[in-house]
Amino acid sequence: MAALPLRALTLRQLQFFSVLVEEGQFGRAARRLAITQPALSNAIKQMEKLLGAELLTRSTHRLELTPVGAEVLARTDFLVNTFEVALRDIESTVQRGRAYVRVGVIPSASARVATAASEFLRDGHREVELSWRDAPSNTLLAELRSGQIDMAVAAITEPPGGLTCIDLFRDPLVLVVRRDHPLAAAGDASWEAIGKERLVLFESGSMPALGNPARAQFAQGPQPYRVSYSETLYALVRGGQALGLMPRLYTSSLRDPELAVVPLLKPRVERRVVLAYLPGPMRNVVAQELIAFLRERLPQAGEAAVRRVSGKAARARR
C-alpha cells in the first residue's frame, strides 16, 4: 500500500503538473487551466512536498524536469489521459448506449484496418463508437503507452518495451519505377540491380532502419532523396529523377499508369506490422473484442494481398 502522504495526491494536482510541463511556463499554464499563477505554483509545491522530491527546476524564463519529474510525468500523463478517456467512455455509454474505443493506425495500413473494423461493426457491434488516430508508428506507440489510445496497428523493426505486440503480417520493401524502366519489365529486382541509380525514400518511420543498412551494403548510387509524403516520392519517380523505395503497403492504392511496383529481393527486407496494446485489463469489453477480431482478421487480409501481388508479378514475368 502507498504511503499516506502520497495517497493525498489528487487528480487535479496531476492535471496541473501535466499542463504545466506541456506549456513550459506558469503563466500560460495558469491561463489554460483558468486559475491564478500563485494557485498553480502552490499546487506544484504541494505535489513535491507529498512526493518528497523536486519535480522541476525553475528559472526566470524556463522550466526543466528533474530526473524524478520525468518519471512522474510519464505516469501522470497515463493517469490523466486514462481518466479523460474513461469519462468519455462513461458519457458515450450512458447517453448513447455505446462503448468508446480509440484505434491508432499507420496511414499505410489504414484501408485494411478500416475494412476490418467495418466488418466488426456489421457483425453486431454497433454499440461501439470508434475514434481514429493516424500517425507514424513511433507516435502511436508513445500515445499507447501514455493511455491516449487503446490499441495501435504499427510497423516495428524491434520489439517495443512495455507493450503487448501481436504479429499480423510482414510488409516487404519494394521499388516504384517508371513503367518504361528496364526493372519494370524484369518483374522483380535485386538490390545489386539498383546499381548507381539514385533512390528516394521516406525520411522517418521504419525506412531509415530498414533501407539504410541494405542500401549501404548493395547500392552504390548517390545519397538518396528523403521525403515525407508518398505524393512527392511518386512525383520524383515519375519525373525520372529517382527510383522509389518504400514498404509495399503504401502501394496498395497506387493506380498510376506511368508507374510500376517491382518486388525487391536478394535480400528480401521486411518490416513487422503488429497489433499493439498495453498489457493488463482493458478499459471495456468491446475493446477486448475488437483486438481479438483484428488479431484474427488482419493476417488473413495480409496473406490475400501477398497472393494478389505475387500473381501480378508472375503475369509480368510471363
Which tens digits make up the pLDDT trace of 163-190?
Answer: 999 999 999 999 999 999 999 988 888 8
In this prediction, residue 252 has a pLDDT band, given cuts at 50, 70 and 90, of confident
Q: How far apart are CA 47 and CA 9, in angstroms?
A: 7
Domain 170-269's class?
A: alpha beta
Q: What is the mean pLDDT of residues 235-249?
A: 94
Cell 519494370 found at? 184
133-142, 196-205, 297-306: least confident range: 297-306
Mean pLDDT of the chain: 83
Fold topology of 96-167+272-301: D-Maltodextrin-Binding Protein; domain 2 (3.40.190)
Same topology for domains 11-79 and 170-269, yes or no?
A: no
What count of residues does the chain have? Answer: 318
Q: Is the pLDDT of residue 317 over 50?
A: no
Helix (H, G, I), strand (E, B) or coil at 43: helix
Fold topology of 11-79: Arc Repressor Mutant, subunit A (1.10.10)
CA distances to 29, 98, 111, 127 from 121, rounded to whole Å, are 40, 12, 15, 8
The pTM for the full model equals 0.67
Helix (H, G, I), strand (E, B) or coil at 112: helix
Q: How far apart are CA 42 and CA 76, in angstroms?
A: 18
Q: Which residues pair with 104 in a beta bridge?
A: 133, 152
The sign of the CA dihedral 23, 26, 28, 32 is: positive
Decide: 228 and 222 in contact? Cβ < 8 Å: no
Decide: 210 and 269 in contact? Cβ < 8 Å: yes
Dihedral angle computed from the Cα positions of residues 32, 33, 34 and 38, in that order, rounded to the nearest 10 degrees: -110
Cell 447517453 found at? 95
Q: What is the mean pLDDT of residues 23-39?
A: 89
What is the share, in percent, of the chain residues with pLDDT greater than 90?
Answer: 32
Q: What are the structural domain ranges in the chain?
A: 11-79, 96-167+272-301, 170-269
Count of C-beta atoms within a 10 Å radius of residue 313:
16
Highest mean pLDDT among 108-117, 214-223, 296-305: 108-117
Q: How far apart are CA 315 and CA 318, in angstroms?
A: 5
